[in-house]
Amino acid sequence: MITFIISLVALVLGYLIYGAIVERVMRPDDRETPAVRLADGVDYVALPTWKVFMIQFLNIAGTGPIFGAIMGMWFGPASYLWIVLGCIFAGAVHDFMSGMLSLRHDGANLPTLIGQYLGGGARNVMLVFTVLLLMMVGAVFVYSPAMILANMSGGDSTTIWWIVAIFAYYVIATLLPIDKIIGRVYPLFAIALLVMAAGLLVGLLVKMPHLPELWNMGDMSQWTGSQVVDGKDTLGISAFLSKNSLFPCMFITIACGAISGFHATQSPLMARCLKSERLARTVFYGAMITEGAVALIWATVSSYFFYYGGWKEIVSPEVVNDFMAQVQLADGKTLIQYFTAPEVVNLVCSGWLGVVGGTLAVLGVVAAPITSGDTAFRSARLIIAEALHFEQKSMVRRLTISVPLFVASLLLLIWQMENPNGFNVLWQYFGWSNQTLSVFTLWMITVYLAHNRKPYIITLIPAILMTTVCTTFLVVSPQAFGLKELLPWTVIAVIAVAVVWFALWLHKDRATSKL
């Protein structure tokens, strides 16, 4: 718990200190924002600051900071370091800078910004890549909340109806003006999500459970040894870690709670709703810090759940007995396989917060992916419209772009449901694609800062880090090439290529600017 408390304090200090430093780099001023200058009543709509913050927070806080944090604790307390340092020095900077660049370029979407600073080829690649990612977000973020709602309302038989209801909501929210549904409903969803996080935080502070700390993270026997039943490692942590490298796999597993390329597709939505540039740090940097806090809370709850038999104190005796029976009957069954991330959410919220608090908490968890899914489709619509120069004030034009998007995402969703491991496969592709998108965004921002004689080091280091993460993941991950022995050489090679490429570009840019 000491590591957790220090981490929370570090996030707050990160916003106050490093957030102020990053803000001075861009120097927000009183120039007219796109929401005012280009108001169209559909996507460019000036909204109150607190609403913009709530919408941005929900846009970026999908299942990532919750499910990702739960799965990320498989790697132990090292997850705290990535959430805190990644959030302050990479994720929040990434979100703030992409939001500010969109503000300075008439609310431009990510592929347009990438095209301006990395070239037309990169723009075309990222146009296709971004739209595919957003369609995956729509498909992934339908299924997980539908499963949770089905568990609450009557079992697996109702899952399909929840999927239909959520997708119908996506269609309406994508097509209507942003202030009609998103501007009205999101603040309520955000309150539910924040109440959930606050309730769990209070629960942790009251219980003050004994958890592994950063200074004893090497003693993995405390993790696995406490859950051995009949000679079986019921946590399965040893087997998991033997197949997955902490670097880079942890950096992919914990995405949205530290840094996420998906966020750069959402920041332009709110750049079109801000009334003043001076609010950008609060909205973009602040929302990411808040998401990091949510990820920390769920990482700690997950740590308590899986360490030292904490799950036995959270779930009912019936569930404990049922699990013990299955461990003895099903050879190789592990706790992580038995309790999926959505089930951990249900059990923890109902076990700690009671019926009312648990229901509100689960609704907050459900709202997070749903509200990321609808804005994913909205972002995809606007990105395609910008590329094709289609105005979006007309409903007919909006439908022309949206209908093919919905059809493609439905086909992806059907494939996911028909394949037994479809969700996990799609999540892996989403996780890697998501972080790869952050690579392009960070390099775009770095080029912008360097070209304008600003301190580009603030994004150059995260850009090199994430480039290394995404490249080495393909090399070492069991889901890709599985060549763990090449990890050191891959890291060295990627860093060397990235540094040399940037040095050559910078030399050329400086020489050109003198002409």
* CA neighbor of 490 nearest in space, from 479, 480, 504, 476: 476
Residue 473 lies in a domain: no
Of 348 and 91, the one with more pLDDT: 91
Structure confidence at residue 221 (pLDDT): 46
Residue 118 lies in a domain: yes
* CA neighbor of 272 nearest in space, from 10, 22, 42, 468: 42
Structure confidence at residue 305 (pLDDT): 74
Residue 353 lies in a domain: yes
Whether the pLDDT of residue 234 is over 50: the answer is no
- Burial call 43-66: b when 16+ CB within 10 Å, e when fewer: bbbbbeeebbbbbbbbbbbbbbbb
Is residue 274 a contact partner of residue 280, using CB atoms and an 8 Å limit?
Answer: yes
> What is the average pLDDT across 17-38?
94
Residue 163 lies in a domain: yes
Is residue 406 a contact partner of residue 178, using CB atoms and an 8 Å limit?
Answer: no
Of 391 and 460, the one with more pLDDT: 460
| Count of structural domains, the chain | 1
- Here the CATH number for the domain that contains residue 122 is 1.20.1740
Determine the 3-state secondary structure of 56 from DSSP: helix
Of 375 and 244, the one with more pLDDT: 375
Q: What is the 3-state secondary structure (H, E, C) of 108-147?
A: CCHHHHHHHHHCHHHHHHHHHHHHHHHHHHHHHHHHHHHH
Residue 233 bridge partners (DSSP):
228
Whether the pLDDT of residue 301 is over 90: the answer is no
Least-confidence region, from 99-108, 123-132, 311-320: 311-320
> What is the average pLDDT across 259-279?
90
Structure confidence at residue 125 (pLDDT): 85
Structure confidence at residue 409 (pLDDT): 84
- Residues 6 or more apart whose Cβ sits within 8 Å of residue 132: 433
Whether the pLDDT of residue 237 is over 50: the answer is no
* CA neighbor of 117 nearest in space, from 448, 437, 442, 383: 448
Whether the pLDDT of residue 121 is over 80: the answer is yes
Determine the 3-state secondary structure of 483 from DSSP: coil
Long-range contacts of 124-127 (CB under 8 A, 24+ apart): 126/437, 126/440, 127/383, 127/387
| 232 phi/psi in degrees, rounded to 5 | -100, 140
Mean of per-residue pLDDT scores for the chain = 81
Determine the 3-state secondary structure of 382 from DSSP: helix
* CA neighbor of 287 nearest in space, from 62, 57, 48: 57
Whether the pLDDT of residue 334 is over 60: the answer is no
- Structural domain that includes position 287: 2-438
State the pLDDT confidence band at 345, using cuts at 50, 70 and 90. Answer: confident
Residue 495 lies in a domain: no
Residue 279 lies in a domain: yes
Residue 463 lies in a domain: no
Q: Compute the C-alpha angle 134/381/445, nearest 5°.
A: 65
> What is the average pLDDT across 250-254?
83
Q: pLDDT digits over 478-488, tens only?
A: 767 778 888 88
Structure confidence at residue 330 (pLDDT): 43
Q: What is the 3-state secondary structure (H, E, C) of 313-355?
A: HHCCHHHHHHHHHHHHHCCCCCHHHHCCHHHHHHHHHHHHHHH
CA 2, CA 301: separation in Å to the nearest integer?
14
Structure confidence at residue 423 (pLDDT): 65
Q: pLDDT digits over 167-218, tens only?
A: 888 888 888 887 777 777 777 777 777 877 888 888 888 878 777 777 765 5
> What is the average pLDDT across 347-361?
68
Residue 228 bridge partners (DSSP):
233
Please tell me the pTM assigned to this model. 0.84
| 49 phi/psi in degrees, rounded to 5 | -60, -40
- Burial call 189-226: b when 16+ CB within 10 Å, e when fewer: bbebbbbbbebbbebbeeeebebbeeeebeeeebbbee
Q: pLDDT digits over 398-455, tens only?
A: 888 888 888 888 888 888 777 766 666 666 677 788 888 899 999 999 999 999 999 9
Residue 156 lies in a domain: yes
Q: Compute the C-alpha angle 121/465/214, nearest 5°.
A: 155
